[in-house]
Chain A
């Protein structure tokens, strides 16, 4: 049996979930954004996309583009829970499910056929169950590897089902624009066009040596991908995330360094907490800042050891901020940890040097029981007055039993 990979992608995921929840939004242009009045559109319904709404537009900009647009506040927990439940459906067909993003998964169904009739049969059953359970549609691609499955799935959106057999791969790829290949962004697309390459077929026939000279190793990769081959092979799925980050957009631009740094501390603590939750440590950290005109910069720094300690992260990111001469006020800040590895419990070499670690253990336990931000550093009181940018899997919530 040839390897068979299925790619499932929920159509306009956040917006579809909102439309399903609120039937009065069905058939209307809907955009999902954060609560903060200055966050951007993170998803939009097909009705909105058709009328020019794009991810990343500011709320105001989107409204100007399309005055009839309905902007709803996103709810991360709702999307994360839906993602979990969609993947529970997929797990009925194979244990080999890889959650690729909040609305995309890959399944290796090679071994599923003694039990299920056919790939298309599985795809139809999944589409039906997702539609019946959540009231949303998804697009499915089936192919001999993840690359083809994904490209096939993307090509059939929305509510599509596209199947490409191994022997059909070349023919399927030939006519597609190079932009269909994941990893070929706008910039590379333009550069390829300058070389006279518009379709994957043309890319396939183009000399690799020229591509390599122009794009480095990516030249080799895209040439392989144009043939439908995954350059990095079928890398073991379930690979741990390569970075963990949080960012926040402020209600009003901030210029005061003390306030900026307290937010950096807050973000560093959030990143530390996520690292500890996922059992990871990191050795590289970056600070991202955005000016009111949307120009965005990132500065990174690596340290010689791995950590999951928010205060340590802050020492790095805070120092990065100290080294920056800000040219304006700031609209967004972000902290990201990279160079991740699984954390291993090591006994402290120096007595009491694990004080910080033990403190975090207690804080984590308290926050696990009573909810995020039940206990935090007093410095963070300086920055409690904003709402969070929608970011996957994170949204602190009011403590219920105590609220009224």
Chain B
């Protein structure tokens, strides 16, 4: 089931290739540190001038959608998808 969240979160990220490659590794949510096992998909969206990097990631049990606002340097947890 997909649940929209839309919360600002703190994320541990590795930026590689002069910041071209963005690799989120873990994030803090609801007081827990969730380790990202795999980025399943990445794409870019645009709102006006703001470039948003989107990531579908999994911690092994659930699927999360994260977004990174390149201009504002903010991370959001957009949605959570739990099995079933």
A interface residue numbers (CB < 8 A to B): 17, 20-24, 77-78, 81-82, 134-135, 367-372, 374, 397-401, 403-404
A/B pair count, beta carbons within 8 Å: 66
Tell me whether A368 and B45 are in contact (CB under 8 A): no
Count of B interface residues, CB-CB < 8 Å: 25
Interface check B9, CB cutoff 8 A: no
Looking at the complex, which one of A22, A81, A135 makes contact with B43 (CB distance below 8 Å)?
Answer: A81
Complexed CA–CA distance, A398 and B72 (Å): 15
**B residues near A24, Cβ cutoff 8 Å:** 63, 81, 83
**A residues near B58, Cβ cutoff 8 Å:** 23
Tell me whether A368 and B41 are in contact (CB under 8 A): no
Interface check B32, CB cutoff 8 A: no
Interface check B16, CB cutoff 8 A: no
Instruction: Digitize B15-56: 1 where CB-to-A-CB distance is under 8 Å, 0 elsewhere.
Output: 000000000000000000000000011011111111010101
Tell me whether A371 and B41 are in contact in the complex, defined as CB-CB below 8 angstroms, given that A400-B69, A401-B69 are known contacts.
Answer: no
Interface check B6, CB cutoff 8 A: yes
B interface residue numbers (CB < 8 A to A): 6-8, 40-41, 43-50, 52, 54, 56, 58, 63, 67, 69, 72, 74, 76, 81, 83
Complexed CA–CA distance, A23 and B58 (Å): 9
Residue of A nearest to B81 (CB): A22
Tell me whether A22 and B40 are in contact (CB under 8 A): yes
Tell me whether A403 and B69 are in contact in the complex, defined as CB-CB below 8 angstroms, given that A22-B63, A397-B45 are known contacts.
Answer: no
Shortest distance in angstroms between B23's beta carbon and chain A's nearest beta carbon?
14
Among A24, A370, A398, A404: residue with most chain B CB under 10 A: A24
